[in-house]
Amino acid sequence: MKICSGLAGLALLATAFTSFTASAQSPSSLSAQPIKIVVAFAPGGGTDLYARLISNELAKRGTSIVVENKPGGSGVIAASTVARAKPDGHTLLFSSLGLLVSNTVLVDKLPYDPQKELRGVTHIGSQPTIIVARSDAPFKDIRGLVAYAKEHPEKVNRGSPGAAIITNLAPVAFESKYGFKTTHVPFNGDTPGLTALLGGQIDIVGTGPSGPMPYIREGRMKLLGVMGDKRLSQFPEVETFKEQGYEFDGSIWYGLSAPAGTPNEIVKELNKIFNDVLNDPAFRTRAAEMGIEAKGGTPAEYDAYVRSEADRWVPQLRKIQQAVSVR
């Protein structure tokens, strides 16, 4: 009887050990299929390039990532796609101010609710808004642009990746504050706008540093100024807006968001996967070379940051709506 009980106990112990070992060695619940990151802009722009930098680094670590570009509608198409996706951690939104905050003010009948239908995974990066001009533009810096635009009202054609995007909103707010106006020409992402600038169809573009950096180095575009607290390390000779006499800041930030119904344990797993990359010194150096400061942090910290940005920008957006048309 004691022998049988002992054997039964050993059998139970063996079963438990086998179960524990299988559990410990089992692959991640997210490894069965690729994780898709939906980007709201056309391929080739700064947002897309950063998403692909992250995906390439994750691939080296064994996590399969697919970057899917869904440009159009100031990010509405991309955000709606993710909001309605299966909440299993395999579809994420490359989120930003425009998609999570600005659209709630600027887009009539918004087909998704960022507060109710999306949840934060992590803050992944930030960079300053910059203004670049065609190489033969009749101004060389922000001071010159402001003077020229005041002398030639609405004659300067300004491109952006969309009406609700920070690289449009920041220039609009700047124009409103300093008493001049350009003609806004929206595109479906940075790349089409930069292409139009290279072709001479427009005069300036509000953008991030990543996309235009090669063209600035080649002399095919002029960097007029940086809407940040410091100069770009790649172009240390170009002054910030503040150094040129204009008190104005316009930072671009990026994050990852999942459908709201995604379970906490999956969000926690995703957070760890991405933070392992974002906190890697070699990755942070590569991001800095693109003009991006890699971030990171918890889902709660990212959600709190988005709320703080909403508190900052929503009142300004409503003022902008009253002062000028941003559509």
Q: How does residue 44 score in pLDDT terms, banded at 50, 70 and 90?
A: confident
Identify whether residues 276 and 266 lie together within a single domain. Answer: yes
Distance set, CA 309 to CA 96, 166, 303, 312, 316 (Å): 10, 11, 10, 5, 11
Residue 44 lies in a domain: yes
Identify whether residues 260 and 119 lie together within a single domain. Answer: yes
Q: How do residues 85-122 score in pLDDT, each as one tens digit? A: 999 999 999 999 999 999 999 888 999 999 999 999 99
Identify whether residues 108 and 181 lie together within a single domain. Answer: no
- What does pLDDT average to over the chain? 88
Backbone angles phi, psi at 325, to 5 degrees: -85, 130
d(CA 322, CA 165): 18
Give me the pLDDT at residue 240, please.
97
Domain count, the chain: 2
Identify whether residues 233 and 264 lie together within a single domain. Answer: no
We report the CATH number of the domain holding residue 235 as 3.40.190.10
We report the CATH number of the domain holding residue 120 as 3.40.190.150
Judged on CB neighbours under 10 Å (0-12, 13-18, 19+), 230 is exposed
Which of 205, 232, 250 lies at the terminal end of a domain, its last residue?
250
Say which range, 145-149, 186-190, 281-285, 320-324, has the weakest mean pLDDT. 320-324
Residue 27 lies in a domain: no
Give me the pLDDT at residue 26, please.
34
Give me the pLDDT at residue 10, please.
40
Which of 250, 267, 298 lies at the terminal end of a domain, its last residue?
250
Range of the structural domain that residue 144 is part of: 128-250
* Contact between 159 and 202 (Cβ < 8 Å): yes
Residue 265 lies in a domain: yes
Strand runs labelled E in the chain? 35-39, 65-69, 91-96, 118-134, 157-160, 183-186, 204-207, 221-227, 251-259, 293-294
Give me the pLDDT at residue 28, please.
54
Nearest to 146 by CA among 179, 184, 168: 179
Identify whether residues 170 and 213 lie together within a single domain. Answer: yes
Give kind and range of the element (H or E) at residue 276.
helix 264-278
The pTM score is: 0.80
Backbone angles phi, psi at 61, to 5 degrees: -95, 5
Q: How do residues 147-180 score in pLDDT, each as one tens digit? A: 999 999 989 999 998 887 889 989 998 998 999 9
Coil vs helix vs strand at 316: helix
| Tokens, residue 157 | 């054609």
Residue 327 lies in a domain: no
Residue 23 lies in a domain: no
Positive or negative: CA dihedral 12, 13, 16, 22: negative
Give kind and range of the element (H or E) at residue 216.
helix 213-218
Amino acid identity for residue 5 in this structure: S
Give me the pLDDT at residue 108, please.
87
Identify whether residues 288 and 307 lie together within a single domain. Answer: yes
| Tokens, residue 14 | 């063996």
Give me the pLDDT at residue 323, please.
58
Of 12-16, 72-76, 301-305, the range with the highest mean pLDDT is 301-305
Residue 256 lies in a domain: yes
Identify whether residues 117 and 76 lie together within a single domain. Answer: yes
Identify whether residues 164 and 275 lie together within a single domain. Answer: no
Coil vs helix vs strand at 324: coil
Residue 5 lies in a domain: no
Asked whether the predicted pLDDT for residue 9 surpasses 80, the reply is: no
Which of 250, 265, 284 lies at the terminal end of a domain, its last residue?
250
**How long, in residues, is the chain?**
327
d(CA 93, CA 82): 6
Identify whether residues 209 and 267 lie together within a single domain. Answer: no
The residue to which tokens 């004659």 are assigned:
155
Residue 171 lies in a domain: yes
Amino acid identity for residue 130 in this structure: I
Asked whether the predicted pLDDT for residue 217 surpasses 70, the reply is: yes
**Partners of 218 in the beta sheet?**
none
Give me the pLDDT at residue 131, please.
98
Q: How do residues 16-39 score in pLDDT, each as one tens digit? A: 443 333 333 333 567 678 999 999
Identify whether residues 221 and 303 lie together within a single domain. Answer: no
Identify whether residues 173 and 242 lie together within a single domain. Answer: yes
Q: How do residues 273-317 score in pLDDT, each as one tens digit? A: 999 999 999 999 999 999 899 999 999 999 999 999 999 889 888
Identify whether residues 315 and 268 lie together within a single domain. Answer: yes
